């Protein structure tokens, strides 16, 4: 009974428009049939920004509890900055580098990062709203306990990023590499990963609701139990079959 319950936890949907209809999948895992259609995806989130020419240049030092509105920065390096409780609103940050530093509880609302590098900053318990990270690198970022809503990650390489305990709502990862990203204990609601590649991702004790993994390459280090509430396609089910079999203690002979 326990094995059947675990198998049913992972919802499998065929490709949209596919002529194939599955009644059961590999490892005995049931899949969606034609009567179980996926919801229409929400629009890709993003900031509402005026033209770059209408933004003033951010030429003051970033500091704790500072407020930065309708500003832009390009090619700036913020090394070991203490900017806890700061607020960025309607800002365009292009080619900037956040190297280390304390950014805990900072708010980013209607902010776009382009071609930027986030190298080990502490963004714990930070707040993100209607923002976008487009291209660039996020390595060793401490995003634990963050509140991330309506944010778009596009063509970002995420390496050893810590999302433990974070809340991600209406978030889209597009064409991203997620290497050793830790979602342990995080809550993901209406999150999509089109065109992404997972390498040793960990979803241990995460809570997923309406999470769409279709179109992604999947390789998980842990947390298969936590994939309840996720949707994958038939090809991904085949790709995951060895891991699912090992997780359920099945021997294939």
> What's residue 41's pLDDT?
57
Long-range contacts (CB closer than 8 Å, 24 or more residues apart) made by 146-154: 150/45, 151/45, 152/44, 152/45, 152/46
Whether the pLDDT of residue 226 is over 80: the answer is: no
Asked whether 123 and 143 are in contact (CB, 8 A), the reply is: yes
- Structure tokens of 162? 């810590």
* Residue with more model confidence, 249 or 204: 204
Give residue 132's pLDDT: 97
DSSP code at position 33 = -
Q: Please state, in angstroms and as integers, the Cα–Cα distance from residue 210 to each residue in 47, 49, 222, 233, 243, following that order.
A: 23, 29, 20, 14, 22
Domains of the chain: 65-244 (2.160.20.80)
What are the respective helix, strand and coil percentages of the chain, to the nearest 5?
A: 15, 40, 50
% of the chain residues with pLDDT over 90: 65
Predicted TM-score (pTM) of the model is: 0.81
Q: What does the pLDDT look like over 30-54, one tens digit per residue?
A: 333 333 334 445 678 889 899 999 9
- 112-160 tens-digit pLDDT: 999 999 999 999 999 999 999 999 999 999 999 999 999 999 999 999 9
Rounded mean pLDDT of 207-216?
94
pLDDT more than 70, % of the chain: 83
State residue 24's pLDDT score.
33
């Amino acid at each position: 009974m326990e094995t059947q319950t675990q198998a049913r936890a992972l919802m499998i949907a065929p490709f949209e428009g596919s002529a194939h209809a599955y009644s059961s999948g590999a490892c005995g895992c049931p899949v969606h049939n034609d009567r179980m259609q996926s919801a229409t995806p929400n629009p890709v989130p993003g900031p509402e920004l005026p033209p770059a020419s209408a933004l003033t240049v951010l030429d003051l030092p970033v500091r704790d509890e500072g407020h930065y509105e309708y500003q832009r920065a390009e090619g700036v390096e913020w090394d070991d900055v203490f900017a806890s409780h700061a607020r960025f609103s309607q800002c365009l940050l292009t080619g900037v580098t956040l190297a280390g530093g304390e950014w805990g509880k900072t708010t980013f609302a209607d902010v776009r990062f382009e071609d930027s590098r986030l190298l080990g900053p502490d963004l714990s318990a930070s707040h993100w709203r209607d923002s976008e990270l487009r291209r660039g690198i996020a390595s060793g970022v401490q995003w634990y306990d963050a509140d991330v809503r309506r944010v778009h990650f596009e063509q970002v390489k995420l390496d050893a990023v810590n999302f433990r305990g974070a809340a991600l709502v209406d978030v889209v990862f597009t064409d991203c590499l997620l290497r050793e990203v830790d979602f342990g204990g995080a809550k993901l609601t209406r999150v999509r990963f089109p065109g992404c590649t997972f390498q040793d991702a960990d979803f241990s004790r995460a809570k997923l609701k309406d999470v769409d993994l279709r179109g992604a390459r999947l390789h998980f280090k842990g947390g298969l139990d936590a994939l309840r509430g996720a949707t994958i396609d038939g090809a991904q089910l085949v790709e995951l079959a060895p891991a699912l079999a090992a997780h359920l203690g099945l021997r294939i002979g």
